[in-house]
Amino acid sequence: MKKILGILLCLALAAGFAFANGSAEKTETGSGKLVVGFAQIGQESGWRDAETASLQWYASRNIDTIELHFADAQQKQENQIKAIRSFIDMGVDVIGLAPVVETGWDAVLMEVKEAGIPVIFLDREADVDDSLYATFIGSDFILEGQNAAVEMGRLLNGKGKIVELEGTVGASVANDRKAGFDDTIAKQFPGIEILGSQTGDFNRAKGKEVMESFLKTYGSEIKGVYGHNDDMVLGAIEAIKEAGLKPGKDIVTVSIDGVKGVFEAMAAGEANVTVECNPLLAPQFFQAAADLKAGKTLPRWIKSDEGIYRADTAAKDLPTRQY
């Protein structure tokens, strides 16, 4: 899968769509193309790579009508802000943003508004006034957390001690997935106790590191692990195995995203459930951008379709996974 994503990314880069530092010459006007600037968070997970590949591949396949300027912020808000300002200077038609954190966007988005450029939040939201963005395209993160809690309750028959691997501190997706899960566990499954909750920054290596710490602290008390994304749980699975325990059996897992790696783990009996969060949002994103350029008003929230996948169907589902 990494090879496939790498090929897609390289093709898009070769076509001249990716600008890693967010800088480029001023866009020519009057070309008739839809000119879009997109400030991506970075490459913290396989899910994020799939979203990036989706955007760049779609743009490369529609080169006659779309001009994409892409910036990889390397998980730093200051880099995203710098990229947005470069998009303003270029005079793009629409700016897309996957905010690395929720807060701290008011000033730069006010500059975007003053420039008359509509903003689309993709897969993550920011805590700003409604007048500073046109629409949000993505998942219901609170619902994802709620669904994950129900699955954890089912796996543990409503009783047991678990740990939680949180996403990036301050990110809307992490806040919502935690709120949805924690609230549902407290209300519907009082027999389940969350022993510890710590950020793994949506990163596989950090997820393993945090799980190792949890295992040293709580040991065999841990009966389940909930991860705000699959990559952290894949790291946790490594830590569980190295501790001499069986992931998926001694410690059950529930995570979110639906990346191919977790389907492989479920098929191998080492993971239990993933709640899908679809990263292949390019068609929705570019359609929304085209509509905004045409002066249309969009819904405040354009939701993506997603499902819940379990270990008992993973082998059958695996060949159909695209990311």
Q: For 153-171, what is each residue's pLDDT tens digit?
A: 999 999 999 999 999 999 9
- pLDDT band at residue 31 under the 50/70/90 scheme: low
Rounded-to-integer distance, Cα 282 and Cα 274, Å: 22
Same-domain pairing of 147 and 24:
no
- Percent of the chain exceeding pLDDT 70 equals 90
312, part of any domain: no
310, part of any domain: no
Same-domain pairing of 30 and 108:
yes
3 state SS of 226? strand
Q: What is the distance of C-alpha 286 from the center of its chain?
A: 18
Tens digit of each residue's pLDDT (9 = 90 or more) over 280-313: 999 999 999 999 999 999 999 999 878 999 999 9
Same-domain pairing of 110 and 146:
no
Residue 248, Cβ neighbours under 10 Å: how many?
18
Number of structural domains found in the chain: 2
Same-domain pairing of 90 and 171:
no
The pLDDT, as a whole number, for residue 220 is 95
3 state SS of 299? coil
19, part of any domain: yes
200, part of any domain: yes
Same-domain pairing of 129 and 166:
no
Question: Is 90 within 8 Å of 27 (Cβ atoms)?
Answer: yes
DSSP assignments along 147-208, one per residue: HHHHHHHHHTTT-EEEEEEE-STT-HHHHHHHHHHHHHHHHH-TTEEEEEEEE-TT-HHHHH
Q: Is the pLDDT of residue 11 over 60?
A: no
Same-domain pairing of 101 and 219:
no
- Sign (positive or negative) of CA dihedral 64, 68, 21, 281: negative
Same-domain pairing of 268 and 296:
no
Residue 65, Cβ neighbours under 10 Å: how many?
12
298, part of any domain: yes
- Structure token pair of residue 241: 């195995």
Same-domain pairing of 188 and 228:
yes
Residue 23, Cβ neighbours under 10 Å: how many?
15
Rounded-to-integer distance, Cα 238 and Cα 226, Å: 15
Read off φ and ψ for residue 3, nearest 5 degrees: -65, -45
Q: What is the mean pLDDT of the chain?
A: 92
Same-domain pairing of 179 and 154:
yes
Cα angle 21-83-295, degrees, rounded to a multiple of 5? 135
The pLDDT, as a whole number, for residue 106 is 98
Overall residue count recorded for the chain in this entry? 323
316, part of any domain: no
Provide the whole-model pTM.
0.81
Residue 83: give its domain's CATH number: 3.40.50.2300
Question: Is 300 within 8 Å of 135 (Cβ atoms)?
Answer: yes
Q: Which domain holds residue 65?
A: 2-135+280-302
Taking residues 205-224, what's their average pLDDT? 98
- Percent of the chain exceeding pLDDT 90 equals 87
Q: At what angle do helices 260-267 and 230-242 cross, to 10 degrees?
A: 40
Question: Is 16 within 8 Å of 25 (Cβ atoms)?
Answer: no
| Among 16-25, 135-144, 254-263, 266-275, the least confident range | 16-25
Rounded-to-integer distance, Cα 96 and Cα 316, Å: 35
- Structure token pair of residue 58: 């779609």
